[in-house]
Structure 1
């Protein structure tokens, strides 16, 4: 049995690894590799947000009654990260290395803080409070 925390934390790590790969390409000023790497990171991170926003968060809210709590904060942070992704797409289009590195640093820091909240608060709460955690993990795996 895989817990929500185990599954989602592992997915965080997969996204983090993609970001590290992209960071190496921008350091080498290889825009082709960087764009490919960043786009892979962005796509997988947005997929992660979809799993949370379409599967986990609605179930958490339905079973706990907490609709203005941690899931609301996570959605707001997802929105902020999406804005960073838009900034990066502009940096890529302009091939502005300084801007790209700045966006990477901001994104990395923000996502680390965001993931920590999920991994230390939301996912453990989900595992403890939801009566269908295994089914939710199976649903999320089927969408991966």
Structure 2
């Protein structure tokens, strides 16, 4: 049986791979490929956020009653990452490799810290508290 932790951690790794592809395209200054990779990464990252924000977080909050705790912090960090994605988009449009890598380093650090909090704390809490609902939550996330 899948767990929320295994399902969403696997998705983190897929997003990490897309991010590496994006950085490689920018490093080679292939701006057309960079744009494609940014669109792919952005789509995948926002899909991940959507699965959490529309399915897993509400289920966790309903079962635990915790609405001002870890899910609130994760939503705030998702918002920060969405803003950084816009900065990366502008850098690619301007073909500004140096600024892109300054901003992408900030995003990478934020993603690493964010993912660690989710993987080491929130996902385990969700699996524990959601119990018999885990399979349904995963299926609902897959349906997005």
Shorter-chain TM-score category? Answer: over 0.9
Give the superposition deviation at 1:142.
2.2
Alignment of 1:16-31 (within 5 A): 16-31=16-31
Which sections of structure 1, spanning at least 5 residues, go unmatched?
Answer: none
Structure 1 CA distance for aligned equivalents of residues 112 and 55 of structure 2 = 22
Structure 2's unaligned 5+ residue stretches are: none
Q: For residues 89 and 43 of structure 2, what CA distance do their matches in structure 1 show?
A: 12
Name the counterpart of 1:40.
Answer: 40
Is 1:9 the counterpart of 2:35 in the alignment? no
Residue of structure 1 equivalent to 2:61: 61
**Runs (4+) off by over 2 Å:** none
The TM-score normalised by the length of structure 1 is 0.96
Paired residue secondary structure (2:68): coil
Task: Please say which of residues 120-129 and 131-140 is displaced more in the overlay.
Answer: 131-140
CA deviation profile, 1:53-105 (whole Å, cap 9, x unmatched): 00000010000000000000000000110110111111112111111111211
Structure 2 counterpart of 1:140: 141
Name the SS for the 1:66 alignment partner.
coil
Cα drift, residue 136 of structure 1: 0.4
Residues 4-63 of structure 1 deviation map (CA, whole Å, 9 limit, x = unaligned): 000000000010000001111111111111111111011100010000000000010000
RMSD across aligned C-alpha pairs, in angstroms? 0.8
Number of residue pairs matched by the alignment = 143
